[in-house]
Structure 1
Amino acid sequence: MTDQSSTATLSRDVPARPGPQASPGDVADEAPGTTHTTEDGPPGSAPQPPSVRPRSSSRDHRIDAMRGAALLMMFVDHIPQNLLNRLTMRNVGFADAAEIFVLLAGYASWLAYGRGFARNGARDTVIRIARRCGKLYVAQTLMLLVSVFTIREWRRFSPVPVDFLEPELAHGVSDLWRVLLLDALPANLNILPLYMVLLGAFPLIYLLIRVSRFLALGLSAGLWLLINVDPTVNFPNWLDPDGWYFDPLAWQFLFVLGASAAIEAGRHGGDLPSYRWLKIAAALYLTFSLVEAFPWAQWGLPELRPFALPSPDKSTLAPLRLLDVMAIFYLVQSSSVARTLSHSRLGQALALAGRHSLEIFTAGTVLDLFGRLVFTTFGAGWPLQIVVNGVGLGLLFLVAQFYERRRVRQRAAAPGGGPAVEA
């Protein structure tokens, strides 16, 4: 999903001729993990001839694998009684899988649509973005309807806490229209609306980057900073007076950083530039984040936090969370070791899930609901822990395999063997 065409000359901050196309497939219907290069050198320099441009010899699966890992952690984290969530990102640092998800969405959206503007033109790309937003809305609506129906039916046989769905929706459907219009966002059903807003704003983001990538980053950072200073600036949410749990006006900065990272990686053979001092700084920060965020008491260990900082606010994407996810992303995307690991059996399994992230996220959200209902009704002992996690993760990989086989068949049937899935 990395279409591009010749249009007017791009800004020096935007690769004018991106590298190989990436395969279709994540939440943004784009191609995420493909190794990509660009013919542009440093800003202001002449394009380098192909013979001296760095190129990787194989596909880069790191983005797909990171996205797959984030999706599986979301499945685990959204079942509060799940003991497995003690091992996920949120217990070993300030950030969690949601930050990874949104950052990679920005990265992959540039590959899918930023380069698509240059290849296919504005009209075709905007249509593709609108079509993708429509798919996200359908997935959101499907998850909502399944949740409402399941909870109402389950309640016939066993009590269900109202916090499984907001009380206003748990006892009736008269206000369902508010959710369908995104005027009300229930808990655990709020990240796809965020992505719809960010993807819908992508044409504006693209225009700003085309003028100057650093101008776009500066304006985006300024808006993020404003929200952190005044968290009341948010989209309205009928179910929550504080607004959207993921404030789009703050989280857009992470999305724009992801898009900018895709541009930078495109100039360096698919890797972010490797600086030893920056890697050391990132590793030290992540060590600090681990010590501060780790649930020492939950594991029966002595408290080792040096500052005992309060949990940084997730709604506004607090600075500690932002630095955490950026440090992780930089270490992975600047590492040849991480590239090699993404080709391992585990890396390929995660990448398989990452290539079909909309389907995995939708299925995972529905399975989360059933997992919570099972634990609430029958207890959360070890036997059910094993069953819920084993069945849930197994089903998610079956979903990924199903859509991967379908993708392969569509590619084979497409003229010239090219991608048959809309990117």
Structure 2
Amino acid sequence: MEPPQPSPSALTRKISRDHRVDALRGLALLMMLVDHVPDDLLNRITIRNFGFADAAEIFVMLAGYASYLAYGRLIDREGWKTGIHRILARCLKLYLYQTGMTLVFVWTVRQWRHYQPLPEYTIEPQLAHGYSWLWRILTFDALPSYLNILPLYVVLLALFPLIYWILKRSLWLLVALSVGIWAIANLDPHLTIPNWLDPSGWYLNPFGWQFLYILGILGAVWAAKNNGDLPYRPWAKALCLAYLAGAFVLCFPYEYWHVPFLRIFPAPPNMGKSTLAIWRLLDIMAIFYLVQSSAALRRISADRIGQSLALLGRNSLEVFACSTVLDLLGRLMFASFGINLWEQLVMNVVGLGLTYALAIPLDRVRQRARAARASSRSAAPATPASE
């Protein structure tokens, strides 16, 4: 199945908001909320237990999809200067959220230790004392565990103008460059950005993960030619389902659920997340195709259940920041007071409740702002046609 070359009309065509994208992103945010607390029982039912990929891959691929819709159309409509200015403003906002979360992370752990003993792994030893690490945090030279996806997004989004410039000239050149960089990163894991806290470098290696981001962009280009849908092909659906079924058989945690093993051969030896191994890449591509080519899921995403997830997806940055802080508090609670069913119940109910308590008013503000912009555009006097 060959991706089509984007024509100028396709690149500038306005696409109505696809609730599947927001709903899938919202689902990924919920999975991150429980996955980042290793002892949370709910993370036993997230996709990382049933395939090669996890919520991070969903998040990054949809970031590429959304970047094309938000900034590609903006560049075509208002020019490169406006598009780059908007991208830089978004990058700055992401940077401030990342820095703020990291400082809250370190301060919270240090204060907690005044009252409750904590194991060393709750914070990297380099961050435990003093403030000589501060400049490393500010320059992304130090990325603590669970705080590594926003810096990746900042790098990829900052590169979007270059990516889009290449895309408008040659889709296949963009694909060739992206595949080549991804392949080199997988062959040589030393091709990465240094991380003061980890000799292996950034956990989510931008040289590998850029391919997934660009695939999201190409998916948006393709969907633009088909009213926001990826073209439905029965053979492609069957192939994706077969791959996901095989991944399920290989990755399912049989030991945890105490059920008979169904693996007829071992899982692939290299399933590295850092450089986005091929198995992970194919896994998330299959999921993305099945979702974005499904008319049924498009309808479901617009109903009450779908909109409850899309609510989170439309406010993903704020929801992610809130979830990250809640995850930290959950890990500290379990480390200090142990794990029991009641603590699990309270933590998950409170975490979910606070997440929606943040997203609901944010979404109302967003909808009012959008309505105001639409009203101002409709009220603006028409520009006389040039003679």
* TM-score > 0.5 by shorter chain: yes
Q: Choose from 294, 309, 314 the match for 1:355.
A: 314
Output the aligned Cα RMSD. Answer: 1.6
| 1:324 maps to 2:283 | yes
Partner of 1:17: 12
Partner of 1:388: 347
Partner of 2:381: none
Which secondary structure state, in structure 1, belongs to the residue aligned with residue 38 of structure 2? coil
Partner of 1:365: 324
Partner of 1:306: 264
1:142-193 Cα shifts (integer Å, max 9, x gaps): 1011111110110001112222221100233221210111011111010000
| 1:316 counterpart letter in structure 2 | T
Alignment of 1:169-188 (within 5 A): 169-188=127-146
Q: Distance in 1 between matches of 2:261 and 2:188?
A: 32
Q: Distance in 2 between matches of 1:337 and 1:16?
A: 26
Alignment of 1:217-236 (within 5 A): 217-236=175-194
Deviation at 1:345, TM superposition (A): 1.8
Q: Distance in 2 between matches of 1:291 and 1:173?
A: 47
| 2:10 counterpart letter in structure 1 | P
| 2:296 counterpart letter in structure 1 | V
Q: Which stretch of structure 1 is more off in the superposition, 363-372 or 214-223? A: 214-223
In structure 2, the CA distance between the partners of 1:14 and 1:71, relative to structure 1 (3 Å rule), is farther
Partner of 2:253: 295
Q: Distance in 1 between matches of 2:14 and 2:24?
A: 21
Whether the 8 Å contact between 1:13 and 1:212 is mirrored in structure 2 is: no
| 1:351 counterpart letter in structure 2 | A
Partner of 2:87: 129
Q: Choose from 119, 123, 148 the match for 1:190.
A: 148
Whether the 8 Å contact between 1:94 and 1:311 is mirrored in structure 2 is: no
Deviation at 1:412, TM superposition (A): 4.1
Alignment of 1:212-291 (within 5 A): 212-291=170-249
Unmatched runs of 5 consecutive residues or more in structure 2: 379-387
Q: Distance in 1 between matches of 2:27 and 2:250?
A: 23
Q: Choose from 84, 91, 95 the match for 2:49.
A: 91
Deviation at 1:249, TM superposition (A): 0.5
| 1:341 counterpart letter in structure 2 | I
Unmatched runs of 5 consecutive residues or more in structure 1: 1-9, 23-33, 35-59
Q: Choose from 354, 364, 367 the match for 1:408.
A: 367
Q: Distance in 1 between matches of 2:315 and 2:339?
A: 30
1:242-287 Cα shifts (integer Å, max 9, x gaps): 1100000110000000001001001001100111101000000000
Partner of 2:104: 146
| 1:67 maps to 2:25 | yes
1:57-77 Cα shifts (integer Å, max 9, x gaps): xxx310000000001100100
Q: Distance in 2 between matches of 1:91 and 1:311?
A: 17
Deviation at 1:400, TM superposition (A): 0.7
Q: Distance in 1 between matches of 2:299 and 2:46?
A: 22
Q: Which stretch of structure 1 is more off in the superposition, 300-309 or 235-244? A: 300-309
Q: Distance in 1 between matches of 2:275 and 2:372?
A: 45
Deviation at 1:381, TM superposition (A): 0.6
Partner of 1:397: 356
| 1:305 counterpart letter in structure 2 | R
Q: Distance in 2 between matches of 1:14 and 1:314?
A: 37
Whether the 8 Å contact between 1:110 and 1:259 is mirrored in structure 2 is: yes
In structure 2, the CA distance between the partners of 1:389 and 1:311, relative to structure 1 (3 Å rule), is farther
| 1:350 counterpart letter in structure 2 | L
Structure 1 length as normaliser, TM-score?
A: 0.85
1:220-262 Cα shifts (integer Å, max 9, x gaps): 0111111111111111111111110000011000000000100
| 2:79 counterpart letter in structure 1 | G
Q: Distance in 1 between matches of 2:45 and 2:33?
A: 13
Q: Choose from 148, 155, 160 the match for 2:113.
A: 155
Which secondary structure state, in structure 1, belongs to the residue aligned with residue 10 of structure 2? coil
Partner of 2:338: 379
| 1:237 counterpart letter in structure 2 | N
Which secondary structure state, in structure 2, belongs to the residue aligned with residue 157 of structure 1? coil
| 2:7 counterpart letter in structure 1 | R
1:268-316 Cα shifts (integer Å, max 9, x gaps): 0110011110100000000001111111111112222222224600001
> Which structure carries more helix by proportion?
2
Structure 2 length as normaliser, TM-score?
A: 0.93
In structure 2, the CA distance between the partners of 1:15 and 1:414, relative to structure 1 (3 Å rule), is closer
